[in-house]
Chains A and B, each alone.
Chain A
């Protein structure tokens, strides 16, 4: 212990760490009937850490070319010791991370935690969710299998509908007119360099905001929070969060062992698209809605109208701390609360109905 004390003293002397420790030991988490919502953000971060760790391991064997990508993933899951586990955990963790991020976002929204002074936290979180979806979209193509290839073709094709810059955006994403090996290399670059860099920086900012402002007590629960003794962040809340993380880890292990992520067959650029091409589940609510639209709405291409509506809805969602004027003074608008529930009902119902095959 003497060595540890001396090490601490040495570091503290040079870096003045004592205030940080002081901050951590005095940090408290309020307790009320909705305190459970505080754990989702940490759980999302846990899955992100798993992604980073397993992603680095996959990088040891993965080769990002059209000729070798599929074979390298095949090699990972059949030959590399525990390669099947790493790949399966990476795929499952990606999905659970998005799920946890959605749960985190909706709990924050429905409890009104986006209100002033936490606008920046909300905005950074919103962008983090988009980044997570970008991770999912770019990572989906990397095994270079048939489903991923065609889903990417459909997905990137939607970008071309964007007025004025659509054509340019499509070429930028695909690295040409079509989805080819150039797209794969490009997506690989986004997936392992660009997105992780931005995400890490933004995640650090997001966490810094939360630490600086402390946990939000939802409107109407202030009295309850006052009557209950708050939890100390270190070690009580961290240990509770640890239980949640362990539960996440157990879920990951079980899913990876019982439902190893399928690899499918290698993408064939000249084959016709197989029936029932679908994107990842977290894009289904948009995908199915776009498919339901008629070819033309008021003379404008239906898909373009749909993308416009989704962009607008995304913008409203993003700007909710500003649009919900009363929220800054602790009086949330009922309309925005209703909007949140409607959005949740729409996303959940469309995703489940699509998975159940109702939209065939």
Chain B
């Protein structure tokens, strides 16, 4: 009976609060409450919507810091009387409207003095950033379909970002964004394709995240921002990619592509590498043939195609030399030779190849060729070492056969001697 009364009171309170923007007194003093009667009653309720939040309280980062239900919902947690505890006169707000949520969370999270006491390392500009985001701007216009704080972080049972179970942990954030951004029907309303998450999951970035467990690999928020989520504009794409790929960006800035792309209002990196489905590039991309990126703008015979041809040729020579040298070194290794010196040379060649692949962004064949020469020098040294090792193997085997011959002669001589003596 008590539970029913309580439920009725809560439903009434919710009905009243459903349209409410947060009253000024909602989170006035979200400090530690000596008593918390909210969870004591709510965990026993039949209505799942009222019971589950109380069950989640124990794992919640706020609750562990002493910020109980009343910290957000107001009311009097010390009173066991539901009518008193959930009295709007005591600041009680039931379920928040979506519009109210960012302001409600921000009332603490944007307060540096308050945050300093609980989590001094967390920034306090989330609300300010959110207001500039596509989500925040749409919400301000009354669109309640957009993401608010609880859409990503959850409402109850909120976990720290560093907690591997959190929906905003690097390995989960893609699916968290994907809950809305993978909904094609919803995204159509915003002229967004809705296949971005699907595309991202084909990318080298996602592979690094899930197969290598590289938590530094970029997820949605790395390029779009988290609280201030917005698509980077055409002009800032290279800034975004350049955060992690500064050398490529620097080389691109040296290239004639920089001005040409700007004039054509083409995004820098994205034009060749794509945006969400960023595949691991291969040297085969260079050229104007089918599935080759230079062909997007250039055609056979023009200066760009000529440069691409020269670069592709240089890379092919380099790759061929590395494969050849690696084969020679592996062959003598299989014969049992230690080839550490040759391995160092091959490693040098691989390093130079990486530099050559970065130099592609200058679209200057001479700069790529400079690295090709270094690669050929390294592979040449590895080839020489492998040839020396092969000569050493031949020398050892010749030595062995001579030794075996001598040993065999000695054995035969001994056998004859023994026979002669024992006859």
A residues whose Cβ falls under 8 Å from a Cβ of B: 74, 77-78, 85, 231, 235-236, 239-240, 242-243, 246-247, 249-250, 253-254, 257-260, 262-263
Chain B 102-161 interface residues, beta-carbon cutoff 8 Å to A:
none
Do B421 and A235 touch (CB < 8 A)? Answer: yes
Residue of B with least CB distance to A229: B422
B397, B411, B421: the one contacting A257 at CB < 8 Å is: B397
Do A74 and B400 touch (CB < 8 A)? Answer: no
Do A78 and B340 touch (CB < 8 A)? Answer: yes
A54 to chain B, nearest CB (A): 15
What are the residues of chain B within 8 A of A250 when measuring CB–CB? Answer: 403-404, 407-408, 411
Interface string of B380-409 (1 = CB under 8 A from A): 000000000000000011011001100110
B234 at the interface (CB under 8 A from A): no
A231, A243, A253: the one contacting B404 at CB < 8 Å is: A253
Known: A236-B421, A259-B336. 18 other contacts (CB 8 A): A77-B338, A78-B341, A85-B396, A231-B422, A239-B418, A243-B414, A246-B407, A246-B410, A246-B414, A249-B407, A250-B403, A250-B404, A250-B408, A254-B400, A254-B404, A258-B397, A262-B336, A263-B338
B341 to chain A, nearest CB (A): 8
**Interface of B (DSSP majority class):** helix
A74–B410 CA distance with the chains assembled, in angstroms: 34
B345 to chain A, nearest CB (A): 15
B83 at the interface (CB under 8 A from A): no
A239, A254, A263: the one contacting B417 at CB < 8 Å is: A239
A85–B399 CA distance with the chains assembled, in angstroms: 11
- A236-B418 CB under 8 A given contacts A74-B338, A78-B338: yes
- A253-B407 CB under 8 A given contacts A236-B418, A236-B422, A242-B414: yes
A243–B413 CA distance with the chains assembled, in angstroms: 9
Residue of B with least CB distance to A240: B418
Chain B 296-346 interface residues, beta-carbon cutoff 8 Å to A:
336-338, 340-341
Residue of B with least CB distance to A263: B338
A35 to chain B, nearest CB (A): 13
B184 at the interface (CB under 8 A from A): no
What are 19 A-B contacts defined by CB distance under 8 Å?
A74-B340, A78-B340, A231-B422, A235-B421, A236-B418, A239-B414, A239-B418, A240-B414, A240-B418, A242-B414, A246-B414, A247-B411, A253-B403, A253-B404, A253-B407, A257-B396, A257-B397, A259-B336, A263-B338
B residues whose Cβ falls under 8 Å from a Cβ of A: 336-338, 340-341, 396-397, 399-400, 403-404, 407-408, 410-411, 414-415, 417-418, 421-422
A255 to chain B, nearest CB (A): 10
What are the residues of chain A within 8 A of B400 when measuring CB–CB? Answer: 253-254, 257-258
B347 to chain A, nearest CB (A): 15
A239–B413 CA distance with the chains assembled, in angstroms: 10
What are the residues of chain A within 8 A of B404 when measuring CB–CB? Answer: 250, 253-254
A59–B73 CA distance with the chains assembled, in angstroms: 78
Do B415 and A243 touch (CB < 8 A)? Answer: yes
A260–B332 CA distance with the chains assembled, in angstroms: 12
A236–B420 CA distance with the chains assembled, in angstroms: 10
A258–B341 CA distance with the chains assembled, in angstroms: 22
Residue of B with least CB distance to A77: B338
A112–B410 CA distance with the chains assembled, in angstroms: 34
A85–B400 CA distance with the chains assembled, in angstroms: 11
What are the residues of chain A within 8 A of B410 when measuring CB–CB? Answer: 246
A122–B341 CA distance with the chains assembled, in angstroms: 50
What are the residues of chain A within 8 A of B411 when measuring CB–CB? Answer: 243, 246-247, 250
A243–B418 CA distance with the chains assembled, in angstroms: 10
A156–B20 CA distance with the chains assembled, in angstroms: 71
What are the residues of chain B within 8 A of A243 when measuring CB–CB? Answer: 411, 414-415, 418
Residue of A with least CB distance to B412: A243
B404 to chain A, nearest CB (A): 5
What are the residues of chain B within 8 A of A242 when measuring CB–CB? Answer: 414
A85–B393 CA distance with the chains assembled, in angstroms: 12
What are the residues of chain B within 8 A of A254 when measuring CB–CB? Answer: 400, 404
A236 to chain B, nearest CB (A): 6
Q: Which 7 A-B pairs have the closest CB atoms?
A: A260-B336, A257-B400, A250-B407, A246-B411, A243-B414, A239-B418, A257-B396
B137 to chain A, nearest CB (A): 50
What are the residues of chain A within 8 A of B417 when measuring CB–CB? Answer: 239
What are the residues of chain A within 8 A of B396 when measuring CB–CB? Answer: 85, 257
A263–B333 CA distance with the chains assembled, in angstroms: 12
A239–B400 CA distance with the chains assembled, in angstroms: 24
What are the residues of chain A within 8 A of B336 when measuring CB–CB? Answer: 258-260, 262
A74 to chain B, nearest CB (A): 7
Residue of B with least CB distance to A261: B336
What are the residues of chain A within 8 A of B414 when measuring CB–CB? Answer: 239-240, 242-243, 246
What are the residues of chain A within 8 A of B338 when measuring CB–CB? Answer: 74, 77-78, 263
A278 to chain B, nearest CB (A): 20
A74–B344 CA distance with the chains assembled, in angstroms: 15
A78 to chain B, nearest CB (A): 5
A236, A240, A247, A260: the one contacting B337 at CB < 8 Å is: A260
